[in-house]
Amino acid sequence: MLSLFDYKNTSVALGEERKSNSAIAQYEFDCNGQQSREIANSFYSGHMGGGSIVYSKVDVRKWTPISKRDSGSLFFLWQSACKNS
C-alpha cells in the first residue's frame, strides 16, 4: 500500500541536501500477524508527489507489530488494507 505525505513546510530528505515537499512510502501488511513494514520511499520536490524525485530508496525493514497507539496513519492504513481478511 502506498501512503502520500505532503509537507506544509519544505523538508530535507533523509540527511540529503535536497529539499522535498512531499514523500510517498510503500508499506506491506501481514494482516493475520497484525504487523507491517516499510518497503521503499521516495521524496519529491513538489507537493502531492509532483515535481522531480530528489531522493529514493528501497529498504525492506523488519516487521513491526501494529498498535492503535502507532503514530500517524499507520494503524489506519493497516485497518484499510486488512479489513476483508
Residue with the bigger pLDDT between 74 and 24: it is 24
pTM: 0.81
List pLDDT tens digits, range 27-84.
Answer: 999 999 999 999 999 999 999 999 999 989 999 999 999 887 766 678 888 888 998 7
Residue 84 is predicted with a pLDDT of 78
Which three-class secondary structure state does DSSP give residue 13?
coil
Residue 26 is predicted with a pLDDT of 95
- Extract long-range pairs of 47-54: CB within 8 Å, 24+ residues apart: 47/6, 47/7, 47/21, 47/22, 48/4, 48/6, 48/22, 49/4, 49/22, 49/24, 50/22, 51/21, 54/13, 54/16, 54/18, 54/19, 54/20
Confidence check: pLDDT of 15 > 70:
no
